[in-house]
């Protein structure tokens, strides 16, 4: 594949590789994304705006030049506004490949970093010498002013010119909590959202603090993705619940959306409104509870993003997709082309029919041989596709789906 080296979010030549639920592959212009969606689909995107998260400065104890890339937060709560997880680099900038950057000095708890007008203190050296827990010694307004003045967008050597902040904000960008852009959302614009509405496709958002994609250190990269806080609005929870109850597909725009929704469902039994921290890795062994389809950028095997795609399609299908991307010269990285992958119908197939005494659902035990409660009787006439999808619902949610 070819690295996309210009920060153009929606070039007219952008392409889409579609992998359907049976593993069939098609090529199309990305502008035709809506043609691969169905009326009733619920599309969910990450509305996080991206911080200027690269800060250059000095390690005060040694006087050495450093770059700090903010990479995460303990939470989105107000009490944690000044606290960040960060990755440290030695001197240099994005023009040098991350793997070729010199190492920073050895950090100790209590070390002070001068980053423009901002001062940060090392609260903890985490499970890698370059992975730091920082606290900025600034009031909130001063912190935002310092980030806006001295921070730069994180970028990599495949992009030749410095990025501007507007280059990395999606069309729906809202709260500034991401460290690199949720770049799958670059495919969206307001015309596409209007096309969704015209075709009966629903749209909702969540906010997920997308982290960094690479550090240049294989050992540190194996820790990615870091824990990432997210926020799910009540309206999005309700839209997801309705879609699941109706057996309609849920389409995630990007890996961050998948991670937030699947973490919420795994933690709370169903997708729940509110804030939490995604601390799971999703891969080939993951049984998806919520998401049916993912729109993503093109990712290289071995990365955590590529590993997540294995939850949707098996390795053989992904290898065929990789070959198709390579042979057709698709562009990779955040401003590159896209893939749309429907989850494998064979991996997620379930027998049709009422599930009122299934051993998988202990809350239904004891119902055999006696009349079912009114809310459960409605399983019998349910359309087959609704019953087939009922495995994705928590016991409480399945009952809610059946209320009058």
Residues forming beta bridges with residue 221, ordered by sequence position: none
pTM of the model: 0.86
Angle at 23 (CA atoms; ends 21, 26), nearest 5 degrees: 100
pLDDT value, residue 395? 62
What are the boundaries of each domain within the chain?
Answer: 2-50+160-342, 54-150, 362-401
What would the mean pLDDT of 191-201 be, rounded to a whole number?
97
Tens digits of per-residue pLDDT, 28-68?
999 999 999 999 999 999 999 999 999 999 999 999 999 99
* Whether residue 386 has pLDDT greater than 90: no
Domain 54-150, what architecture? Beta Barrel (2.40)
Q: Which residues of 17-35 are buried (b: 16+ CB within 10 A; e: fewer)?
A: bbbbbebeeeeeebbebbe
pLDDT value, residue 245? 95
Contact 337, 186 (CB under 8 A): no
* Whether residue 348 has pLDDT greater than 80: no
pLDDT value, residue 402? 60
Domain 2-50+160-342, what architecture? 3-Layer(aba) Sandwich (3.40)
Tens digits of per-residue pLDDT, 254-293?
999 999 999 999 999 999 999 999 999 999 999 999 999 9
332 phi, psi to nearest 5 deg? -110, 180
Higher-pLDDT residue of 365 and 242 is 242
CA-based torsion, 46, 47, 48, 50: positive or negative: positive
Question: Above pLDDT 90, what percent of the chain?
Answer: 76
- Fold agreement (2-50+160-342, 54-150): no
What would the mean pLDDT of 101-117 be, rounded to a whole number?
97
* Whether residue 357 has pLDDT greater than 60: no
* Whether residue 369 has pLDDT greater than 70: no
Short-list 364, 316, 386, 404, CA closest to 22: 316
pLDDT value, residue 278? 97
Any idea which residue has 């050597």 for tokens? 157
Q: How confident is residue 362, by pLDDT bands cut at 50, 70 and 90?
A: very low
pLDDT value, residue 391? 52
Question: Above pLDDT 70, what percent of the chain?
Answer: 85
């Amino acid at each position: 594949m070819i690295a996309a080296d210009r920060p153009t979010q929606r070039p007219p030549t952008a392409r889409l590789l579609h992998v359907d639920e049976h593993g069939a592959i098609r090529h199309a212009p990305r502008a035709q994304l809506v043609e691969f969606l169905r009326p009733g689909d619920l599309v969910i995107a990450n509305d996080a705006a991206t911080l200027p998260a690269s800060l250059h400065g000095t390690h005060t104890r040694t006087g050495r030049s450093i770059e700090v890339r903010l990479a995460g937060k303990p939470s989105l709560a107000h009490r944690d506004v000044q606290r960040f997880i960060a990755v440290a680099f030695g001197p240099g900038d994005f023009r040098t490949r991350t793997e070729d950057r010199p190492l920073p000095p050895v950090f100790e708890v209590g070390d002070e970093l001068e980053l423009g007008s901002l001062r940060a203190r090392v609260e903890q050296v985490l499970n890698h010498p370059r992975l730091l827990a920082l606290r900025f010694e600034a009031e909130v307004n001063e912190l935002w002013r310092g980030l806006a003045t001295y921070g730069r967008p994180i970028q990599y050597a495949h992009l030749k010119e410095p990025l501007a902040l507007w280059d990395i904000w999606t069309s729906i960008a809202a709260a500034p909590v991401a460290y690199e852009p949720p770049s799958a959302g670059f495919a969206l614009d307001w015309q596409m959202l209007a096309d969704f509405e015209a075709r009966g496709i629903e749209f909702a958002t969540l906010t997920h603090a997308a982290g960094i994609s690479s550090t240049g250190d294989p050992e540190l990269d194996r820790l990615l993705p870091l824990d990432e806080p997210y926020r799910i609005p009540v309206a999005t929870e309700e839209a997801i619940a309705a879609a699941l109850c109706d057996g309609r597909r849920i389409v995630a725009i990007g890996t961050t959306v998948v991670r937030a929704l699947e973490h919420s469902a795994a933690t709370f039994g169903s997708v729940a409104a509110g804030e939490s921290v995604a601390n799971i890795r999703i891969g080939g062994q993951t049984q998806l509870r919520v998401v049916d389809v993912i729109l993503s950028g093109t990712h290289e095997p071995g990365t955590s993003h590529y590993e997540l795609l294995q939850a949707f399609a098996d390795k053989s299908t992904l290898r065929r997709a990789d070959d198709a991307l390579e042979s057709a010269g698709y562009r990779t990285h955040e401003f590159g082309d896209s893939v749309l992958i429907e989850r494998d119908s064979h991996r997620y197939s379930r027998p049709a029919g009422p599930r009122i005494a299934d051993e998988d659902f202990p809350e239904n035990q004891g119902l055999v041989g006696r009349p079912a409660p009114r809310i459960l009787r409605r399983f019998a006439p349910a359309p087959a596709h609704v019953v087939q999808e009922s495995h994705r619902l928590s016991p409480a949610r399945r009952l809610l789906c059946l209320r009058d």
